[in-house]
Structure 1
Amino acid sequence: MTRSIDYGTLMHRAMRGLIQTVLGEVAEHGLPGAHHFFITFDTRADKVDIADWLRQRYPEEMTIVIQHWFENLHVTDEGFGITLNFGNQPEPLWIPFDAVHTFVDPSVEFGLRFESQDSDDDEEEGEDEEFEISETAEDKPRTEAEVVSLDKFRK
């Protein structure tokens, strides 16, 4: 049996750790400057704890915004809890990091996306989600570096 380095799993862990660190800092010190987050998560994932009416309204996926009003943000190794306001109704949420699909901070144009992949080749339990990297260094021909302005993509 050949061994190889599982870069997908390592990236997955590192990116989840980054989210944990950022949210931990916000829990301790508050949101700095114009930073705010859009976090999309799978409402069906194990250990997601949201109100029944929210689960009915968002049966598969939900995006929350952490910006102006939030309370009780607490972060653990497994996930984070937060109370958010939904139509003047505070609701506590528990979101495991493994349920997170996207984490975006538009104030600095930063974002992470985790994509689910069902693989028949690799049926290891719990290995159906990974951080996807579209191209490896071996697949891409070496060329000169190119600077691309994001302004042309803005509306």
Structure 2
Amino acid sequence: MAQTIDYGNMMHDAMRGLIRNVMSMIETDGLPGEHHFFITVNMHHQDVDMADWLRQRYPDEITIVIQHWFDNLNVDENGFAITLNFGNNPEPLYIPFDAITTFVDPSVEFGLRFEIQTEDDDDDSDDDDGTNPDDTPPDATRQKAAEVVSLDKFRK
């Protein structure tokens, strides 16, 4: 049994469930009213699927906009597939929910930010021999709690 409750990861799961529910509603009914989304994606996530030219142009992160034109939205338990227009080039994407670092709907001033930190940043152990007791790579990342993101980041 764990010695602590991992509220941070539990919060992440809940917030990703909220995003999954929203995207499922959009899949079924389309975007209502003025709703639209800015979604920032961590490009280092192994399950992000998109064209090579987009990966080369945006090697670390990409912010996609789901607003006027999108097609083929298909939501599953782990993420969503969607076709978006990049310079008059429709491109299919697959975005895992756990690759999302921000989700913003500026029409209602709602936003979430998922922060990523390395295990080294959160290490409280007194071991100083440089070993990793969990046998995870030293560069493995762990998610912290979701936060409300400032909409100023997306204002022009």
The TM-score by the shorter chain falls in which range?
0.7 to 0.9
Matched with 2:74 is: 74
Q: Which amino acid aligns with 2:144?
A: E
CA distance in 1 between counterparts of 2:146 and 2:52 reads 32
Q: Which amino acid aligns with 1:131?
A: A
TM-aligned CA deviation for residue 115 of structure 1: 0.5
User: Can you list the C-alpha shifts for 1:79-103, whole angstroms capped at 9, x where unaligned?
Assistant: 0000000111100000111110000
Q: Which amino acid aligns with 1:77?
A: E
CA distance in 1 between counterparts of 2:2 and 2:94 reads 40
CA distance in 1 between counterparts of 2:64 and 2:71 reads 13
Residues 1:3 and 2:17 aligned together? no
Does structure 1 retain, via aligned residues, the 8 Å contact 2:102–2:112? yes
TM-aligned CA deviation for residue 16 of structure 1: 0.5
Q: Return the TM-score normalized by structure 1.
A: 0.80
SS at match of 1:4: coil
* Residues matched between the structures, number: 137
Moved >6 Å (runs of 4+): none
Residues 1:24 and 2:38 aligned together? no
Residues 1:129 and 2:143 aligned together? yes
TM-aligned CA deviation for residue 132 of structure 1: 4.7
Matched with 1:87 is: 87
CA distance in 1 between counterparts of 2:147 and 2:50 reads 31
Residue ranges of structure 2 left out of the alignment (5+ in a row): 125-131, 149-154
TM-aligned CA deviation for residue 108 of structure 1: 0.3
SS at match of 2:23: helix
Matched with 1:45 is: 45
SS at match of 1:128: strand
CA distance in 2 between counterparts of 1:85 and 1:52 reads 15
Q: Return the TM-score normalized by structure 2.
A: 0.80
**Structure showing the higher strand proportion among its residues:** 2
